[in-house]
Amino acid sequence: MTTLPSLQWCQATFDGLAGTELYAILTARVDVFVVEQDCPYPELDGLDQTARHLWALDGSGRVAAYARVTAPGTRFSEPSIGRVLTALDYRGLGLGRELMERAMKLSGEIYSGAPLRISAQQHLEPFYASLGFNFVRGPYPEDGIPHIEMIRPDR
């Protein structure tokens, strides 16, 4: 089994992000969600300003993993984790699981362990189910990709 390289974990509100951090995060999101997935869509959706951002930086300052936690009443009535990504060079190492575990913990700290609702790419259902999320509805198209809604009960 390959071990994860040394990464620096960071989190911030939108107002707490330095310009270089925001640029690195948006670069990673566009690289994965727009370029790699060949999905032209409005990546800037107005939810970043009220979200808590969580990311891991590699030794060169590049974003290796990223997720954002949105407040209840923004995307869903429950808190949500979205824009979950692992950079191409870091896939297959377990970093996605570590990212989600950290994001779930962060959400629990901010929102007192409230249930989490996500909109997940349909092919990732087994991954999210292994983290305690349950299927709610779908599939439905989101930006041209089949998605499902899942919820993780309060823990």
> Any bridge partners for residue 68, and if so which?
53, 82
Dihedral sign, CA of 139, 116, 129, 7? positive
Task: Tell me the domains of the chain and their CATH numbers.
Answer: 8-152 (3.40.630.30)
Q: What is the mean pLDDT of residues 1-7?
A: 70
CB-based contacts of 19, cutoff 8 Å, min separation 6: none
Confidence of residue 155 (pLDDT cuts 50, 70, 90): low
Q: What is the mean pLDDT of residues 57-85?
A: 95
Entry field: residues in the chain: 155
Both tokens of residue 114?
């409230």
Residue 10 above 90 pLDDT? Answer: yes
- d(Cα 63, Cα 44) in Å, to the nearest integer? 18
Confidence of residue 3 (pLDDT cuts 50, 70, 90): low
Q: What order of strands is seen across the sheet that includes strand 52-57?
A: 8-13, 52-57, 63-70, 80-86, 116-121, 145-152, 134-142
Q: Of all helices (H) and strands (E), which one includes residue 24? A: helix 19-29
Both tokens of residue 10?
């960071």
Confidence of residue 67 (pLDDT cuts 50, 70, 90): very high
Neighbours of 70 (CB within 10 A): 21
Does pTM top 0.75 for this prediction?
yes
Q: Which of 104, 90, 111 is nearest to 132 (CA)?
A: 104
Q: Determine the residue type at 147.
A: H
Q: Are 57 and 17 in contact (CB under 8 A)?
A: no
Share the mean pLDDT of the chain: 92
- Calculate what percentage of the chain has a pLDDT beyond 70: 96
Question: Phi and psi at residue 8, in whole multiples of 5°?
Answer: -100, 120
